[in-house]
Homo-oligomer: A and B are copies of this chain.
Amino acid sequence: MGSGLSVNKSQAATISLEAQTFLRKLRHVPFAHLIGSFLTSPTQIHQFRATFAEKQATVEKELIEKYNISVTAIDIDGVPILILEPPFIKPENESKVLLNIHGGAFCLGNSRDRTGLLMATEMGIHIYSIEYTLSPEVQYPTARDECLKVYRHLVKQFDARNILGMSSSSGGQLMCSMLLCAQKEGLPMLARQYLCTPALDLAGYGDSMVFNDARDVMPVSLLVGMVQQNYQGDSDSKDPLYSPLYSEYTKNFPPTIITVGTRDCMLSTGVRTYWKMRKGGVSVELLVSEGMWHGFNWEETVPEAVEVRAVVREFLSQP
């Protein structure tokens, strides 16, 4: 195994002790650039998924118990949903719902992951978290269409102005592709959304995809391997609904807050999304955090993550 990510004196000086510890403890898959494609191939991905799920399950269980979160499975038009409900719903959020699409390179993760659990607790809001079908069991656009089914239902059940969105990494692709489809259908747009280090360019381009490859929590070769071998199918990498960074955005698109870190391989995607949306007239905000990695936001106690989550909640709570 590798020996933790490099954090020298100049880098340590500008991040929290908790973040330093996290990075120094992290172990990359050895020789990921050589064997990444094999590890993430359709024959091997189930093993990869199981290992990932085992690690996450402990965190999920702890959060559910610690915060006494009620987890209810429902079904919307054939798509499984988990409703995450903290013991205390803030009065101003009683009629609201936060739609969550989890990350995991389309191949890993589940709707009970820490992202929704932490957000439900800290924001005091109901979360509808979509259990979309993972790849390689299905390929694009099946999961996006499942999300769209759910969205069509939710805008009938709730006033769209009471729906908020959140998504992480590959979940951002599903969310934005879904919203763009919904927009074409003439459906009303949800009120506001949070894109956590969104994977909106599945062509894998960008400055930070290169310079942060070996510095981020997961080598880019593994991310690219998972997406291209299991999810992409026959899609064109730059199809504007497959890689929503290449879509055109208009003022009608929901106000969006994007978060990334300087060690994040998707820093560039966040930056490019910000400019693309801004040029289209979308009300968009980009938060960059010093020395932080892909998905750092979901570490419960790392101060930089706590800080960013507070700003995101404030953004989502605006009228």
Q: Which residues of A contact B (CB under 8 A)?
A: 8, 10-11, 13-15, 203-212, 215, 262-263, 267-268, 271-272, 274-275, 286, 288-291, 307
- Let me know if A11 and B262 touch, CB within 8 A: no
Q: What would be 23 A-B contacts, judged by CB atoms less than 8 Å apart?
A: A8-B210, A10-B205, A10-B210, A11-B205, A11-B207, A11-B210, A13-B203, A13-B205, A13-B206, A14-B272, A206-B290, A207-B262, A207-B263, A207-B290, A207-B291, A211-B215, A268-B290, A271-B289, A272-B290, A275-B290, A275-B307, A286-B288, A288-B288
Q: How far is the CB of A290 from chain B (nearest CB, A)?
A: 5
Quick one: copies of this chain in the complex?
A: 2
CA A267 to CA B212, docked complex, whole Å: 14
Interface of A is mostly: mixed
Task: Provide the residues of chain B in CB contact with A288, threshold 8 Å.
Answer: 271, 274, 286, 288
Residues of B within 8 Å of A272, CB to CB, are: 14, 290
Q: Min CB distance, A209 to chain B, in Å?
A: 5
Closest to A289 in B: B271
Interchain CB contact under 8 A, B211 and A268: no
* Chain B proximity of A122: nearest CB distance (Å): 19
Greatest chain B CB density within 10 A among A10, A208, A272, A275 is at: A10
| In the complex with contacts A267-B262, A271-B288, A288-B286, A211-B209 CB distance below 8 A | no
CA distance A286 to B259 in the complex (A): 13
> Which residues of the partner chain B approach A263 to less than 8 Å between Cβ atoms?
207
Q: How far is the CA of A93 from the CA of B291 in the complex (A)?
A: 40
Inter-chain contact B207/A14, CB cutoff 8 Å = yes
Residues of B within 8 A of A268 (CB): 14, 262, 290-291
**Which of B11, B205, B286 has a CB less than 8 Å from the CB of A286?**
B286
* A212: B residues at CB distance < 8 A: 211
Q: Which residues of B contact A211 (CB under 8 A)?
A: 211-212, 215, 262
Chain B residues lying within 8 Å of A206, measured Cβ to Cβ, are 10-11, 13-14, 290
